[in-house]
């Protein structure tokens, strides 16, 4: 008996196809700008020195007992992650109406949040959607939501490819026109893949529409601190919505800002309107976790809790984050200047108006294909690239390649 005889192969993702093409490419100047890790000047994943130090100490710490954590994860980690997102003085925390659950990475937080929504969001009406995603967005988001049983997914306009910037008015129009009580997935900072973010004034307008239409915000915060170099500024949209009394979910990830890519440290925040609902929602989350991953791993969570719980470590960690952000901003400015000196067509100020790990160049499909086939420079099909993968060794080549893509007759 052959149980899986008729199982079809799943097509590879965009990034998997690009990485495979890059791996086959033997050109000495090849450059891969489509990765998901935050890299340093040497092209290696950025790991804050304090994180490496704590990991070494943990290896010889006799007090760390290798036992299963609870399904909800390490309480100290959850407490610190919650304070990082909402601020220690948040009323939601002091009123004890915030549930925090340690998850298997940011993707695990999205999946758990989706499971909770499908089962208990407006349960009396058997709610199954819609959930609105930004256009463009991470291609895995829709797959995670669908796997959780979300029946209806829609998109709201976010990026204007012609102007290489946000289309705030269209975004607001889409939020006004979608059904009341829709779930809106929002990037708190460092939107993937465009690298652009709403201003605080824009967020105020968005939150007004959300309140008016009774929408439910589901925030993504994949790298708090690594967009503007300030953890409070990056979390401002979430804190603002909480201050307005809104209930919400927030999926946090600690891969980028702690360099914990292999540890899969994530966290789901659920801010409720009433404390009386906390234990019921917690019990449902715990039940779901037992069916999804039983319990999370503890190593990376111990690192995060140790850094956030020690004032000296916290200061050192923040300094490391600012250094990484400043390097990326310098790369953006250098790339813009190189393109200007080469006489590249168009305006390139949008490069320095963006933030975080990703950068939207505005290149079209033909130009992206030219970069890969003729110049061995690999970026995402939508023209977005990982800005941290550009360094002093490949900056000139990347700038020249983009200039050639813009001027080539194809």
pLDDT tens-place string over residues 76-102: 999 999 999 999 999 999 999 999 999
The model's pTM is 0.93
What is the distance between the alpha carbons of residues 63 and 334, in angstroms, rounded to a whole number? 48
pLDDT mean over 372-399:
95
pLDDT, tens digit, for every residue of 32-58? Answer: 999 989 999 999 999 999 999 998 888
Q: How far is CA 207 from CA 166, 238, 406, in A?
A: 17, 10, 39
pLDDT, tens digit, for every residue of 120-135? Answer: 887 666 666 799 999 9
Q: How far is CA 193 from the centre of its chain?
A: 9
Is the bond preceding residue 136 a cis peptide, omega within 30 degrees? yes
pLDDT exceeds 80 at position 59: no
Sign of CA dihedral 223, 224, 230, 235: positive
pLDDT, tens digit, for every residue of 301-351? Answer: 999 999 999 999 999 999 999 999 999 999 999 999 999 999 988 789 889
On average, the pLDDT of the chain sits at 92
pLDDT bucket at 353, cuts 50 / 70 / 90: confident
Tell me, which fold does domain 14-48+315-407 have in CATH?
Answer: 3.90.1150
pLDDT, tens digit, for every residue of 233-244? Answer: 999 999 999 999
Ranges of each domain in the chain: 14-48+315-407, 75-309
Q: Return the CATH class of domain 75-309.
A: alpha beta
């Amino acid at each position: 008996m052959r149980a899986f005889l008729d199982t079809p192969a799943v097509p590879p993702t965009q990034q998997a196809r690009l990485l495979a093409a890059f791996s086959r490419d033997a050109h000495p100047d090849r450059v891969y700008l489509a990765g998901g890790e935050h890299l340093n000047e040497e092209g290696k994943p950025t790991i804050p020195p304090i994180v490496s130090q704590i990991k070494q100490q943990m290896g010889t710490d006799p007090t760390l007992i290798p036992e299963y954590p609870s399904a909800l994860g390490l309480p100290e980690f959850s407490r610190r992650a919650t304070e990082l997102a909402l601020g220690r003085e948040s009323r939601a925390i002091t009123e004890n109406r915030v549930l925090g659950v340690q998850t298997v990475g940011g993707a695990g937080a999205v999946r758990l949040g989706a499971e909770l929504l499908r089962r208990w969001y407006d349960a009396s009406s058997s709610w199954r959607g819609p959930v609105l995603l930004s256009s463009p967005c991470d291609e895995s988001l829709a797959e995670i939501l669908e796997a959780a049983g979300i029946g209806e997914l829609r998109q709201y306009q976010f990026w204007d490819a012609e102007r290489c910037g946000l289309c705030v008015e269209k975004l607001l129009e889409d939020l006004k026109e979608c059904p009341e009580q829709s779930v809106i997935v929002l990037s708190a900072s460092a939107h993937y893949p465009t690298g652009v973010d709403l201003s605080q004034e824009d967020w105020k307008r968005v939150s007004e529409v959300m309140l008016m239409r009774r929408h439910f915000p589901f925030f993504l915060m994949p790298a708090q601190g690594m967009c503007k170099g300030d953890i409070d500024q990056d979390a401002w949209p979430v804190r603002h919505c909480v201050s307005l009394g809104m209930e919400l979910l927030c999926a946090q990830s600690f891969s980028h800002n702690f360099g914990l890519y292999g540890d899969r440290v994530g966290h789901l925040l659920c801010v409720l309107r009433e404390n009386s609902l906390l234990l019921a929602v917690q019990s449902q989350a715990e039940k779901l976790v037992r069916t999804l991953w039983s319990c999370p791993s503890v190593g990376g969570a111990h690192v995060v809790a140790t850094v956030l719980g020690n004032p000296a470590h916290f200061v050192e960690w923040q300094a490391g984050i600012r250094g990484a952000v400043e390097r990326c901003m310098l790369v953006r400015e250098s790339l813009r200047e190189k393109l200007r000196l080469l006489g590249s067509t168009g305006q390139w100020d949008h490069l320095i108006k963006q933030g975080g790990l990703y950068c939207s160049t505005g290149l079209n499909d033909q130009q992206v294909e030219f970069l890969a086939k003729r110049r061995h420079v690999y970026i995402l099909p939508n023209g977005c690239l990982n800005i941290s993968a550009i360094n002093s060794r490949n900056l000139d080549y990347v700038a020249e390649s983009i200039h050639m893509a813009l001027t080539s007759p194809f």
